[in-house]
Structure 1
């Protein structure tokens, strides 16, 4: 006999039946890809939800279990399992029961593997090494241990090994070279440095003019004195 129970009733039963005996608690913090402190995402072990014998359970019990697994898969943002379970829920009770008995863990393991591979994007060396190790292992237990704990431990090591950024040095002001004003004193002036150098420019022309005038006057005086001496002798 097939049970025609509304989906809303099944969902209500799924939430009324506790998925786990422990009460919800705040998860420990960890680091994200940017080394920022965040709350850890804990992936549910759906094997703990299977508390019935799938061979002897009623169709209602099987559907309730399927809805519990669907809720956990959606909460973990798994890429494959939610769609597959929903397809089985829309099918027959026998197909749903057979899927839960044989194939649900296969689909779930594929989802966990995909999730582990996604953590490699932008990962550091410790995360890459830890992820590769569990991918080589390939078991559900290894995937869950990595996603819930190993990933955060490896990421903490990668973040701790990053160099601490140092503040950039403030560029110093460029020194402006102020030309030293030339001394107003002549280079050849007394008391100045480099004494003994010849006077040049306008001062030289003046001195030369005066000297020339003196020479002319001296020559003229000599000629006049000579003529007077000549006349006197005669």
Structure 2
């Protein structure tokens, strides 16, 4: 009786020990995978990475012997992934297959779906390197994937290589310096300079320049007085000269 508990514990350990490595094997890739960590977008802002799944995993079933229901279920799964990733060519092809007969859907899944998916992946890679402001690291990594041309190269670039290259491009960008614009003080007031006025009044001579010239009736009066003074002076000169002549004779 006293050995019942230790024996039960050993049996439990026997079931747990073989499962421990399996748990470690299934969880370890999730801790090291880079596709689950945040990435950067074109503006170098943190975003959630977009993961492109390998559709070949869905096509691992026996397409020759699968019944029509299984084929439609497979086509629906692929169509879902095509909608998420905006694979327009693949979406159109799957929709046409679902609208057709069993043989047409089976033939499309066997012969065409991977080729169309491959074209959509290439288009997506091209879209990442096409913009004029693409960084040199992204352009180089994307061109290498295009030169390789395989599905594996496209998936590796879209799921990981793109974000690694973009992080390098963002790290090499110069940090923008904030510009400081001068602002007016709220207590500042505007000073208006007084209009200068002449110190001499009209009609009064003063200073070096004298007063304003006299015009009109005032000028005529002055001229008349001056003329009279000239006549009086001339008459006085003549009278004095005559008296002097008489005195001498």
- Give the TM interval when normalised to the shorter protein: 0.5 to 0.7
1:159 aligns with 2:170: yes
Uncovered stretches (5+) of structure 1, i.e. residues with no partner: 1-20, 174-200, 203-234
Match of 2:154 among 126, 131, 143: 143
2:61 to 45, 49, 52: 52
SS at match of 1:42: coil
Q: Indicate the RMSD between aligned Cα atoms, in angstroms.
A: 2.5
Q: Normalising by the residue count of structure 2, what TM-score does the alignment of the two structures yield?
A: 0.57
Q: Equivalent residue of 2:162, what SS?
A: helix
The Cα of 1:171 is off from its aligned counterpart by 6.0
Partners of 1:172 and 1:111 in 2: how far apart? 54
Stretches of structure 2 lacking an aligned partner (at least 5 in a row): 1-25, 28-34, 185-206, 209-249
Give the structure 2 partner of residue 219 of structure 1: none
TM-superposed deviation, 1:168: 2.6
Aligned length: 153
Match of 1:93 in 2: 102
Q: Return the offset for 1:75.
A: 1.2
Partner SS for 1:35? coil
Structure 1 position 169, deviation (Å): 5.2
Higher helix proportion (structure 1 or 2) = 2
Distance in 1, Cα, partners of 2:45 & 2:170: 9
1:110 maps to which of 98, 119, 122? 119
Question: Quick one: higher RCO (CA 8 Å, sep 6+), 1 or 2?
Answer: 1
Q: 1:29 maps to what in 2?
A: 38
Question: In the alignment, which residue of structure 2 is the partner of 1:211?
Answer: none
Match of 2:51 in 1: 42
What's the TM-score, normalizing by structure 1?
A: 0.61
Measured after TM superposition, the shift of residue 151 of structure 1 is 0.3
